[in-house]
């Protein structure tokens, strides 16, 4: 029995089943990476929000200081 004959003895799997297995495998590999990217985006957003709040607080403080000097 040659290699070709052994392959012919296996039942053919439907293409949909093979496609589902490929997609499942990709999901298992991409899932953890996507989770890390999402976590990093949340961290960056939190840092950006904190920086914006700091800038706003400094602007308010400067405005109040100017008001005290002028008034």
Buried b (16+ CB within 10 A) or exposed e, 19-29: eeeeeeeeeee
Of residues 13 and 41, the one with the higher pLDDT is: 41
Residue 25 belongs to some domain of the structure? no
Going by pLDDT thresholds of 50, 70 and 90, the confidence category of residue 57 is very high
Instruction: Give the mean model confidence (pLDDT) for residues 55-68.
Output: 94
Residue 10 belongs to some domain of the structure? no
Query: Model pTM?
Result: 0.58
Residue 26 belongs to some domain of the structure? no
Instruction: Give the mean model confidence (pLDDT) for residues 52-62.
Output: 97
**Structural domain that includes position 70:** 34-71
Q: What percent of the chain has pLDDT over 70?
A: 83
Number of structural domains, the chain? Answer: 1
């Amino acid at each position: 029995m040659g290699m070709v004959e052994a392959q012919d003895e296996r039942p053919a799997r439907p293409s949909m089943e093979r496609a589902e297995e490929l997609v499942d495998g990709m999901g298992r590999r991409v899932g953890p990476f996507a989770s890390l990217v999402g976590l990093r985006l949340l961290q960056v957003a939190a840092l950006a929000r904190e920086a914006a709040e700091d800038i706003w607080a400094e602007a308010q403080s400067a405005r109040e200081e100017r008001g005290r000097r002028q008034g």
